[in-house]
Amino acid sequence: MSKKKNKPLVKRRAIREAVLHGLARRRRRDRLLRLAGIGAIVLGLSFLAVMLVSLVSLGKSAFWQTHIRLELTLDPARLDPQGNGSQASLAAGDYAGVIKQALRARFPEVRKRREKRELYRLVSSGAAWALRDQVVADPELLGQRRAFWLLADDEVDQWFKHGEAGGVRLSERQRHWLESLRAEGAIDTFFNWAFFRNGDSREPELAGIRGALAGSFYALLVTLALSLPLGVAAAIYLEEFAPRNRWTDFVEVNINNLAAVPSIVFGLLGLAVFLNFLDLPRSAPLVGGLVLTLMTLPTIIITGRAALKAVPPSIREAALGIGASRMQTVFHHVLPQALPGMLTGTIIGMAQALGETAPLLMIGMVAFIVDVPQGFTDPATVLPVQIYLWADSPERAFMERTAAAILVLLLFLVLMNLVAILLRRRFEKRW
Binding site for other proteins (CB under 8 A): 243-244, 312, 314-325, 328, 332-333, 337, 430-431
Which ranges constitute the DSSP H helices of 203-284? 210-236, 246-260, 263-270
For residue 70, the SS3 value is strand
CA-to-CA distance for 329 and 428, rounded, in angstroms?
Answer: 19
Find out whether 344 and 420 touch, Cβ atoms under 8 Å: yes
Find out whether 383 and 356 touch, Cβ atoms under 8 Å: no
**Residue number, 191 or 241, with CB nearest to other proteins:** 241
Rounded to 5 degrees, what angle do the CA atoms 343, 349, 351 make? Answer: 105
Minimal distance, residue 279 CB to other proteins, in Å: 45
Minimal distance, residue 424 CB to other proteins, in Å: 15
Minimal distance, residue 256 CB to other proteins, in Å: 21
What residues contact residue 26 under an 8 Å CB cut-off, 6+ apart?
A: none
Minimal distance, residue 305 CB to other proteins, in Å: 16
Minimal distance, residue 309 CB to other proteins, in Å: 15
Rounded to 5 degrees, what angle do the CA atoms 290, 295, 296 make? Answer: 95
**Residue number, 25 or 430, with CB nearest to other proteins:** 430
**Residue number, 17 or 249, with CB nearest to other proteins:** 249
Find out whether 69 and 417 touch, Cβ atoms under 8 Å: no
Find out whether 323 and 329 touch, Cβ atoms under 8 Å: no
**Residue number, 129 or 427, with CB nearest to other proteins:** 427
β-pair partners for 152? 123
| DSSP 8-state secondary structure symbol assigned to residue 163 | G
Task: Say if residue 390 is exposed, middle or buried (CB neighbours under 10 Å; 0-12, 13-18, 19+).
Answer: buried
Rounded to 5 degrees, what angle do the CA atoms 65, 68, 70 make? Answer: 150
| DSSP 8-state secondary structure symbol assigned to residue 318 | H
**3-state percent breakdown (helix, strand, coil) of the chain, nearest 5:** 70, 5, 25
Minimal distance, residue 281 CB to other proteins, in Å: 47
β-pair partners for 64? 191
**Residue number, 104 or 316, with CB nearest to other proteins:** 316
Q: How is 48-63 classified by DSSP, letter by letter?
A: HHHHHHHHHHHHGGGG
Minimal distance, residue 340 CB to other proteins, in Å: 12
**Residue number, 80 or 239, with CB nearest to other proteins:** 239
Find out whether 92 and 111 touch, Cβ atoms under 8 Å: no
CA-to-CA distance for 264 and 361, rounded, in angstroms?
Answer: 8
| DSSP 8-state secondary structure symbol assigned to residue 167 | -
**Residue number, 229 or 313, with CB nearest to other proteins:** 313
Minimal distance, residue 12 CB to other proteins, in Å: 26
Stretch (H or E) spanning 120: helix 113-120
**Residue number, 55 or 315, with CB nearest to other proteins:** 315
**Residue number, 70 or 308, with CB nearest to other proteins:** 308
Minimal distance, residue 324 CB to other proteins, in Å: 6
Minimal distance, residue 278 CB to other proteins, in Å: 40
**Residue number, 11 or 332, with CB nearest to other proteins:** 332
